[in-house]
Structure formats: C-alpha cells, structure tokens
Structure 1
Amino acid sequence: MIIRKNEYPQYLQLLKKNPEFKDFTSEEFAVIQAKMRVRSYPKGQLLFNQADPRANFYFLAKGLLKTERTDESGNEFFYEFINETKGFPYRGMFHDHDYSYSVTGMTATEIISIPMADFESLLLKNKKMMRNVILEMGQIINENENQLQLMVNSSASSRVRNGLKVLGQSIGKPGADGTRLIPYPITLIELSQISGTTRETASQVVKELVAGGQITYERKYFTLLNN
C-alpha cells in the first residue's frame, strides 16, 4: 500500500535521526524528500528478487526483513536479517547492476525507497556520508563473519543452538533481568533454515533447551534466558 505524501515528513525525520543518514545537508534531504517513496507491505511480501535490476536503495522504517541468496547450483540459503531503521542494500554499491540477494518481509513492513542512482549521486558529493556508508559496510561484514563462525559446525544440534544465538545477537531485545527477547515470531521451519538443518532437528533441540531452562518458546516467540 502506498503511503500518502502528506505523511512523508515523519519518515524524513526518521531518516534525519538515523546515523546512516544524519550527515546529509538540508539541500540533500530536500532531494531525498522529492525522490523518495514510502509503502507498506504485508508479511511475506517479496520486495525484490536476486538478479532484479538494482533500482532502489531502501530504508526499513518498520518491521523485519530477511535476505536469501541462491548459489550457482540453485540452492537457497539464509543470508541475514535486516533490522528496523536500517538501510539496504550496501552490497554492490557503485558497482553492481543487479541485486545480489532477495528480500522478503518477516513481518508487515513500512519501507522508504530512493532511486539508487540518486542516492549514489548524493553520496559522491558528501564525504561525511561516504564515510558513514563505509563504516556501515564494515559493520555488516563483521556481523556476517561472526555469524558464519557460529554456523560453521558439523553438528546439526549445535547449529540450531548457535542459530538462536545469532537471532539473539542480531534482532534480540535485552531485558532488565538479563533475558533477551526475539520480538518477532520465528517458526521452527525458519529456525531450521537459519541453522541449515531439518525442522525435526530444530524442534528437538528447542524442546531440550526449554526443558533445560535455557529458553522459552511461546506463540512462536523465543526468549533466551540468563543462565
């Protein structure tokens, strides 16, 4: 659903408060406001597919997205989550002509889009913003490397445990009592995909962790407990 333009000022303020956008000038934000579009999408909506033309840069105003990539053999695998108030895709900036992964909504979402050519043109004129982009890309690389280290394990049960740890680190919200709530519903099938194993294995490991007092899993919401 298209968000009406009279609501755009609130979304522009969201961009201005975000570290990824804060160093654009007033004139540059005026360009962004003129070029940007805001839409809401239902859960499960495919935003773009791998190999689609890289037409837009996006900013997730509300919700949660997941990215997936298909290898040369046609096998799909989980890539990463995109959190609320994050921009994407940074991969292929100034170079790629197509998107390198597909993006799907894990929840209902609200997304700001800016034509990629306009966004890259603004970056080229603003050294502070270019530095912000480089820092953000470095952070994404670090997070992906840490995730990969956790998930490279021959034991399927260990991958499920580490998959939950990845979820806690990437999208979990800390509680005052040391717990960490994953504030989005995650099915056992999705957990198995993240962990590179079967639903049955994921289900068994989750049951063991619940019985051991390490997590709770209620109505598809995980809470990692402080142990």
Structure 2
Amino acid sequence: MREVLGHRCPFPTLATKIAVNKGRHLYHQGDLVEGAYSLATGLVALERVDENGELVILKILHRGAFFPCADLLGSGTHESAGRALTDVTGCFVPAERLNAALHEDPSMGLALLKLSSAEIRENEDAIFRLCSTDLPDRVLSTLNSLANESGERASNGDLSLTLPISWRDLAAMVGTGPEVISRLLRRLAGSGRLSFRGRHVTLHAANSRQGTPPSYS
C-alpha cells in the first residue's frame, strides 16, 4: 500500500489528526465502522478472536497503511480489532465525510478502489508467503520487517529491536506454535543468524549474507 500512498494521508481535507497511545485500541472486533485510518508513525496490529477464544494477530500495519478498506466497504462492522503496538500518529477519516465526498467527486471513489486493491494484494502476498516459504525464512522475514520499522541499525549492519508482540503472537502470525518457535530461535541463534534475550532481538547482518542458509528441520 505504500506504493499507492507513500506515507501521506490519502484524504487530507476530510481527515482529523489522531494520536493513540501504545496498547490502546483504535477499534474493537464487532464495532460499527465509523471511518478509516491512515497511519503516519507507529505499528498497529490487526487481531481477531478465533472460535476457541484465542486472540490471533493477523497482520501488523506500518506507516503508510490506510485501513480497514474491506470493513469500510463491507458489512459495516469491524471483522477484526486494531490495537496500537507502539505510540501511533496518523489521521482519521469519518465514514460520513468520505461517503459525501464519494458522491460529489468520482475521483475519490477511484482512489478508494486503488487502496482496497492494494490491501487485497498485501493480504494475498501474506498468504503466499505463508504457503510457499519455509518457517525459518518466515520468522526472519517478519522480524526483519519489524526491525526496519521500529528497530535500530548498528554500524556493522546488525538490526536490533524489542519485539512489540509476544513470541506466541509471532508464532501465530507465521503459522506455527510457541514451542516450535522456541526451538527454532535457539537453532537460528546457534547458526549465528540472530541473538535474543527475552523479547530483545538482534538480526546479524554478516551471517544473513553468507550464501544459502542452513536447514532447520
């Protein structure tokens, strides 16, 4: 979606600036859709309670995200919750303002369709990665994405971050369980790909560039 938006709000004349503290919800699963959000800084988790009552993180949104397009155009209720993993800033576009603008200016509708298309492509890409890449690569890719947004890069190229979600949440995101993640992290640490203490993780640049990664099966 960043290719569509960059980091700007797509409808600035309709929007109100917002700031949400870490841990607070932008909206809850089942709430009526009151509008859409454009994320300027911070990270937001889209999460859903499954049929067993377990909370699962479906996706982590980064700056440049405009969401939730599907809910905005759909049934009128939020299918998932949006929770700030870090302090968040951005803008909020009320649904009534957006609907009025869509009737007055057809180009607004085209812009919203492009944003919805970008959201669908991102979801398809996430499903593809889940089905086509092996578990170590999925874990490293997810950690790298989070570190690029909220971590720090050392002079030697290493990326460090404090994970904004639990290891259990990360396991659910990459399609496995916490016990498997625990074993995999030890193997990745043993091979020099990363080091970790609690939720503080360092991804080692030198080892990530050394040819074909070892097998973790």
Q: TM-score, normalised by structure 1?
A: 0.69
Q: Distance in 1 between matches of 2:119 and 2:204?
A: 23
Q: Cα deviation per residue 1:47-83 (whole Å; 9 max; x = unaligned)?
A: 2111101112112222100101234554543221111
Q: Cα deviation per residue 1:98-131 (whole Å; 9 max; x = unaligned)?
A: 1121011111112422211212322343333332
Q: Cα deviation per residue 1:181-214 (whole Å; 9 max; x = unaligned)?
A: 4766244233223224333321221221122133
From 23, 42, 49, the counterpart of 2:28: 49
Q: How many residues align?
A: 199
Distance 1:204 1:124, change over 3 A: farther
Q: Distance in 2 between matches of 1:101 and 1:87?
A: 15
Q: Report percent identity of matched pairs.
A: 19
Distance 1:144 1:94, change over 3 A: closer
Is the CA contact (8 Å cut-off) linking 2:196 and 2:202 kept in structure 1? Answer: yes
From 203, 208, 215, the counterpart of 1:223: 203
Is the CA contact (8 Å cut-off) linking 1:183 and 1:221 kept in structure 2? Answer: yes
Q: Distance in 2 between matches of 1:130 and 1:101?
A: 24
Distance 1:137 1:162, change over 3 A: same
Counterpart in the other structure of 1:113: 92
Where does the alignment leave 5 or more consecutive residues of structure 1 unmatched? 1-15
Distance 1:142 1:94, change over 3 A: closer
Counterpart in the other structure of 1:81: 60
Deviation at 1:161, TM superposition (A): 3.8
Where does the alignment leave 5 or more consecutive residues of structure 2 unmatched? 210-217
Distance 1:18 1:121, change over 3 A: farther
Q: TM-score, normalised by structure 2?
A: 0.72
Query: Which range moved further: 167-176 or 204-213?
Result: 167-176
Q: Distance in 1 between matches of 2:98 and 2:193?
A: 44
